Amino acid sequence: MPPEIAILGIYVSPLLPDLLLLSAAYWVLDTLLAHWGLYEQVWHPSLFRLSLFIVLYAALGLALFASRGMPS
């Protein structure tokens, strides 16, 4: 994994594209869960949404890390 990515001369974290991809997927998932009425069943919807985003982001990071292999 490169230490940083240059976008228009600005160095950003290599996790930024992953974050943008996950944000789009999370938005779709959040819309579906709200449509199905899941948020009416949980105790604290905002905390549930934050926790869901963190779990998905960690899972994506682990999956990408495993697919890219261990750094040598």
Residue 40 covered by a domain = yes
Residue 7 covered by a domain = no
Residue 4 covered by a domain = no
Question: Within 10 A of 17 (CB to CB), how many other CB atoms are there?
Answer: 13
Give the CA dihedral 33, 35, 37, 43, nearest 10 degrees. Answer: 50
Domain that holds residue 30: 14-68
Q: pLDDT band for 69, please (50, 70, 90 cuts).
A: low
Average pLDDT on 55-64 reads 88
Structure confidence by residue, pLDDT tens digits, 34-45: 999 999 999 999
- CA 16 from chain centre, in angstroms, equals 10
Cα atoms in the 13 Å half-sphere on the side-chain side of 61: 11
Residue 23 covered by a domain = yes
Residue 47 covered by a domain = yes
Structure confidence by residue, pLDDT tens digits, 5-28: 888 988 888 788 889 989 999 999
The total of structural domains in the chain comes to: 1
Report the predicted TM-score, pTM, of the whole model to 2 decimal places.
0.75
